[in-house]
């Protein structure tokens, strides 16, 4: 055991089933500050490890903003800055502004979805304590990890480690901060 303050304790499993059981058991034991790492998304984990997902809201309002921006830009240019008489149509000929309004709505919303995802996930983040686990490369291949973080109120070096050992994982790792 090192002298450093640990980031948390992680257990390594071989299957999604074992990971799910462990996550459920940890939640029942009262742990909240935990994170699961898996090579593909596991829907059932969403109920166990809660996350307040703001992304859809951000995307929606970005789309609305994009739509307003596009329409106002076209109105401003076609009716105020550079008014041109095209076949006697009104300057604010809004039906012909629909296409670009739609395109920019999509563009703004899509950029919000992509960059919002990076922002909420904290990316790019090339370093993270869990990368210290020697076998963590398996998390992008066939390994499943559950990490209980030291900031959890119930976290205790020995008790948390024992809790994991009872679940019979492949390995239990203590990770330095």
Partner 1 sequence: MTVLERQRQAARPVKPTDAGKPVVIAPGTTFRSVTDQIASIVLRKDVPPFWTWVFLTAALGVFMFIGAVAYLLAVGVGSFGINIPVAWAFAITNFVWWIGIGHAGTLISAILLLLNQSWRNSINRFAEAMTIFAVACAGMFPLLHLGRPWLFFWLLPYPNTFVIQPQFRSPLVWDVFAVSTYATVSVLFWYLGMIPDLASIRDRAAGRFSYWVYGILSLGWRGASRHWRLHETASVLLAGLATPLVLSVHTVVSFDFTIAILPGWHSTIFPPYFVAGAIYSGFAMVLVLAIPIRKAFRLRNLITERHLDNCAKLMLATGLVLAYTYAIEPFTSWYGGNQFEMAMVHNRATGPYAWSFWAVIALNVAIPQLLWWRSFRVRTVRLFLISLDVLIGMWLERYMIIVGSLNRDYLPSSWHQFASTAVDNMVLYGSICLFVVLFFLFVRTLPAISMFEVRELLPFSKPGGGTVK
**Under 8 Å CB-to-CB from 176, ≥6 apart: which residues?**
2, 4, 5, 6, 7, 129, 132
CB of 158 vs partner 1, minimal distance in Å: 25
Smallest CA-to-CA distance from 175 within 125, 128, 121, 123 is with 128
CB of 84 vs partner 1, minimal distance in Å: 7
Smallest CA-to-CA distance from 146 within 35, 24, 27, 64 is with 35
Q: How many CB atoms lie within 10 A of CB 156?
A: 13
Residues from 116 through 155 that contact partner 1 (CB under 8 A): 116-118, 120-121, 123-128, 130-131, 136-137, 139-142
Residues from 11 through 40 that contact partner 1 (CB under 8 A): 15-17, 20, 35-40
DSSP state of 5: P
Residues in contact with partner 1 by the rule CB under 8 A: 15-17, 20, 35-42, 44-46, 49, 51, 53, 55-56, 59, 63, 73-74, 77-78, 81-82, 84, 86, 89, 93, 96-97, 99-100, 102-104, 106-107, 109-111, 113-114, 116-118, 120-121, 123-128, 130-131, 136-137, 139-142
């Amino acid at each position: 055991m090192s002298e450093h303050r640990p980031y948390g304790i992680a257990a390594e499993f071989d299957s999604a089933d074992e990971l799910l059981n462990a996550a459920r058991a940890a939640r029942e034991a009262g742990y909240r500050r935990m994170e699961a790492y898996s090579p593909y998304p596991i829907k059932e984990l969403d109920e166990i490890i809660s996350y307040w997902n703001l992304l859809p809201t951000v995307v929606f309002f970005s789309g609305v903003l994009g739509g307003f921006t596009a329409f106002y830009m076209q109105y401003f240019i076609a009716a105020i800055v550079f008014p041109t008489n095209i076949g006697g149509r009104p300057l604010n000929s809004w039906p012909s502004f629909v296409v670009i309004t739609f395109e920019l709505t999509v563009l703004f919303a899509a950029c919000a979805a992509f960059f919002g995802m990076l922002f909420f996930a904290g990316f790019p983040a090339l370093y993270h304590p869990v990368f210290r686990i020697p076998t963590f490369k398996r998390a992008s291949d066939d390994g499943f990890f559950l990490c209980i973080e030291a900031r959890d109120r119930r976290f205790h070096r020995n008790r948390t480690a024992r809790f994991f050992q009872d679940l019979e994982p492949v390995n239990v790792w203590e990770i330095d901060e």
